[in-house]
Structure 1
Amino acid sequence: MAEGPMLEWFYPTRAGRMMAGASMSAILAVFGVILDGGFSWMGVWWLWILILPWPFIFLASAGSEKVYAGVDWLALDDDAYVKTYDLATVKVHLDGAAHAIEMVDNEGRSLRPKIIRLQRNHRLWDLVYNGILHSVHVGG
């Protein structure tokens, strides 16, 4: 793994993923009430198929979103890491609806996480961002 102690990490909990899915279901239900102008849509059975499964979809689709950071490194899912204070290239890409940041350090290791994935823990993002700033300032 990476060098040095781990200072910050983020891994979404099961409860957090279920709450995100429940929020999605609630938003869809409110949208149905607004669109229909009332609650008569609730008698249509197939609309419930569109509303109810979201907590379970969010729970199943979260996969492995582990993110770890130390003073000068960033690791994803326990297997890949980069030295953030020793980056050779930093590029931002549009990855679907989100932005991803591609980082390659001077030893050839690379990561391409979505930025929102890193920003879920503000202290972790501070560590990563400071390393990127240092690498850009020192390395050009």
Structure 2
Amino acid sequence: MTSLLAFFKLLRPLNLFLSVLSVLVSASILHYWNGAVILKTAVTMAALNAAANAFNDYRDFESDKINRADRPLPSGSLSRKSALIIAILLFLCGIILSTFINFPSFVIVTLISTPLMMLYSIRLKGTPLIGNLVVAAILGLAF
């Protein structure tokens, strides 16, 4: 697998599409048609989702060697260090992009969403109910 394809697979394009779709659905439900804000929000959500996916793969390396050997990290197509760098850069992009939406978005992304995404991958992924509640809270923040 080429590095570009491995990078693409690491970010999980279907998940990114769904995060952008959630922004569009939210805008539609709210009858909010400010295209610039919708675009900024969609790009921010995609960056944060991609960061969380990369960070999750970085954290799940050992279990993925057994359960998901085809993923970019356990297959050797991409290094763990590369995945961590990608995750950090995308988290920073999401935080910076959120400043272009509005201050409350920046606060939510910086103080709630990003820490929860990291906490989920580090500690809560295998925790029944609490892990699910954290994922639901993160997804709910999109709305």
Task: Name the TM-score, length of structure 1 as normaliser.
Answer: 0.33
Structure (1 or 2) with the larger CA radius of gyration: 1
User: Which structure dedicates a bigger proportion of its chain to strand?
Assistant: 1
Task: Name the TM-score, length of structure 2 as normaliser.
Answer: 0.33
User: Which structure dedicates a bigger proportion of its chain to helix?
Assistant: 2
